[in-house]
Each structure stands twice: as structure tokens, then as C-alpha cells.
A and B are shown apart, each in its own frame.
Chain A
Amino acid sequence: MRNPNTPSTQAHNAAGLDRLDPVLQHRSRLGACVLLSTVDVLSFSRLKALLGETDGNLGAQLRKLEEAGYVTVNKEFEKRKPVSWYSLSPTGRAVLKEHLGGLEALIKAAGM
């Protein structure tokens, strides 16, 4: 394992940290964005099932992503039930790519 205190590792760590997006540092929000990057749209219930989150927590995290402009939501009715469809915005996609690059750099620097 690489020594975390060497100047070179610290520089790599810093480089990785600079690329991390504060909104995506919550794992539910990161997970939602990664899942949304693989398809056009996912419903709230599908996201909940895939991420294993509660309604309340997921709703709060998705609202934060929506406020940041990373996801868009489209509310529809299917068989008289409200359905929220989420998709990743172009901004969200760009930020996610940068964030994942930062995570990769951080983990590499730590020698994990």
C-alpha cells in the first residue's frame, strides 16, 4: 500500500478531492445518478428498490439533486397513481463523470 503521507500521494489526494462534487458525496445521491446514467428514465419506486432506501430518505436526496439541476423529474399518472420519472440532466452527467474521475484518483492515490 502506498504511504499516505508522501508528498506525491498528498498531491494525488488533493487532485482527486478537487474533482469531487459536494452534492454527490452522499452515496444515495451518487447511486441515483449512476443508475440514471445507464437508462433514459427511472421511476421513484424503481430507484428505491435498486438503492434499498426508504421513501423519505430517497425523496429528500432526489430533491437535492433536482435543486442542483442534476436530475429532472416528470410527474405522470399511471392507472390513477402518481408516478415520478427521473432522468439525469446534461449537467448531472458532466458532474457525475468528473466526480467519478475524482473518486478514482482518490482511491488510486490511497493505493486501495
Chain B
Amino acid sequence: MSQAQQASDDLHYVRQAVDRRDRPRNMPTPIAWTVAIYVLVGYSLLDIRPDWAGIFLAVGGMAMGIVFPLIGRRTARQEGEFDRAEAMRINLHWLSILLAIVGVIALGVARHVDGQTIGQYIALTIGLIYFLGGVHFDRNLLWLGPLLMAGAIAITYVPHYGWTALGALVALGLVVPTWFRTRSAATV
């Protein structure tokens, strides 16, 4: 075998290894379940106790923003690899939810938009951020994002428990894929 042929074969082997590493990652199971419970409870409160919903969603959202990077780091180490730049990219992506919520609320308040409509705009924006998360990280979010966006619009036409139904749908969309995931043994 010529050296050029050998080099070509070696590069093919390396390419296969890199391709294996580049496969899209799933959202860590503890994060998927926590978000599912948060969405289910938070969205149900919007129908049942709207005065509690804002506090629950705000405090819960901030708590998740603090805890999830730590869970993500732990999961990455369990999988046997860690990269600060990638972790930062993922964290910044999810930070955009906070920025979007603050922006939508500020605009809604300035325009005297009612709470229900602000909630729908927030859900619409988060759906878009989920979709982009699907493009970059977890393919499951590719359909969950548009589902959340469609649900945010559909709530306009649902007289009762629209938020609860949407929360249940999103929670299922987050949790069900984790059941089918073959729980690969920690590679560490």
C-alpha cells in the first residue's frame, strides 16, 4: 500500500471517530424531567391560580438556570468528555430564554398588553428557542419547539384549561423520549 493510500485510510478512520463524537446529544434525563414538571405545574397554575403562576415560573426558572449548568457539567463528565467552549455555548443558548422573557414582559407592560397575551408571546418565543435548541443540540426539540409555538397560538381559541393541556403536551414531549432512550452505561 502506498503512503498516500495509507494516509487516506488513516484519515477515513479518524473521520469515522469524529463522526461518532459529532452525533447530536440528548437533553440530560434529569433536566428533561425537571423541565417537564415545571412546565406542567407552571402552565396548570396559569389556569387554576394565575396569581401564583408568575411567582412559580419566575422562581423555578431562575433555580433551573442555576442548577442546570451543574447537571450538564456532571452529565458531560459521566459521558467522558468536557469542553468549556461547548458548555458555554449551550448555557448561552438557554440564557436567551431569560432575555426573551424579560424583553417580552417589558414590551407588554409598556404597551399595556394583558397578562394572557404576554404569556402567549413568552410561550411563542420559548418555542422558537426550543426549536433552535433542536437545530443545535437535541433533535427532540425540533418538533417540541413548533408544538409549543402552535399551542401558544391555539390557546386563544381554547376557552378552558388551554394552558394545562399545553403544559401536559410539552411535559409528555420532554419525558416520553427519555423512556425510549437506551440508557447507555456511563462511559467514564
Chain A residues proximal to chain B, CB less than 8 Å? 4, 13, 17, 27, 30-31, 34-35, 38-47, 49-52, 78, 81, 83, 103, 106-107, 109-110, 112
Contact = CB atoms under 8 A, between A and B. Distances in A.
Given A39-B86, A46-B187, A107 B80 contact: no
21 contacts: A13-B4, A27-B13, A30-B14, A31-B14, A31-B17, A34-B18, A35-B17, A41-B81, A42-B80, A43-B80, A46-B80, A46-B188, A49-B187, A78-B188, A83-B188, A103-B10, A109-B4, A110-B4, A110-B5, A112-B4, A112-B5
A69 to B, nearest CB: 21
Interface in B1-48: 2-5, 7-11, 13-14, 17-18, 20-21
A50 B21 contact: yes
Contacts of B7: 103, 106-107
B49 interface: no
Interface of B: 2-5, 7-11, 13-14, 17-18, 20-21, 77, 79-86, 187-188
Contacts of B18: 34-35, 38
A63 B11 CA distance: 21
Contacts of A110: 2, 4-5
Contact of A39 (B9, B13, B81): B81
B10 A27 contact: yes
The 8 A-B residue pairs whose C-beta atoms are closest, nearest first, are A46-B80, A110-B4, A43-B80, A39-B83, A27-B10, A45-B187, A31-B14, A103-B7
Contacts of A41: 81-83
Nearest to A34: B14
Contacts of B79: 46
A34 B187 CA distance: 19
Contact of B21 (A17, A38, A107): A38
Nearest to A82: B188
A40 B8 contact: no
Nearest to B7: A103
A1 B63 CA distance: 61
